[in-house]
Amino acid sequence: VRTAACRRWPVHSLVARCFVDDAVVTPAPKKRKPPNYWKDINNQREFTDELAKTLNITEPAGWSSVTSTTFRKHGGSSVLGRYRTLKDALQAIYPDQDWNIVFPEKPAPPPLTT
């Protein structure tokens, strides 16, 4: 779709402004959550449930392939900022699940010999 606006805007913005009908749409900026929003475990759970849907995680074991970086890239920085690790976050958000099965403890390294 070509419009009069296409003739007025610089080349770098033509795609975003002139081809909206072709599903090239710039996403709306995310709104900031109110203060203390992420302190509520229900808000953390709602976010994590939605992320699970986005990542096609249907069972707890699916979280074993998710890194903290991936969690953050999907908007989970504020949730992870409240915990030491992703495992700690999931343990708090879903306390009925045994996360030690999904994230087994790593064995201690062998002692150094001299």
The CA-based dihedral angle spanning residues 107, 86, 55, 47, taken in that order and rounded to the nearest 10 degrees: 160
Give residue 105's pLDDT: 81
Name the nearest CA neighbour of 44 among 95, 114, 100.
95
CA–CA separation, 26 and 6 (whole Å): 16
Average pLDDT, the chain: 83
Answer yes or no: pTM beyond 0.85: no
* pLDDT for res 79: 96
pLDDT tens digits for range 79-101? 999 999 999 999 999 999 998 88
Q: Which residue has the tokens 């009925």?
A: 96
User: Please, are residues 55 and 46 in contact by the beta-carbon 8 Å criterion?
Assistant: no
pLDDT top residue among 29 and 14 = 29
Average pLDDT over residues 7-15: 55
pLDDT bin (cut points 50, 70, 90) of residue 54 is: very high
pLDDT in tens, 58-77: 999 999 999 999 999 999 99
Answer whether residue 20 shows pLDDT above 60: no
- 18-25, long-range: CB < 8 A, 24+ apart: none
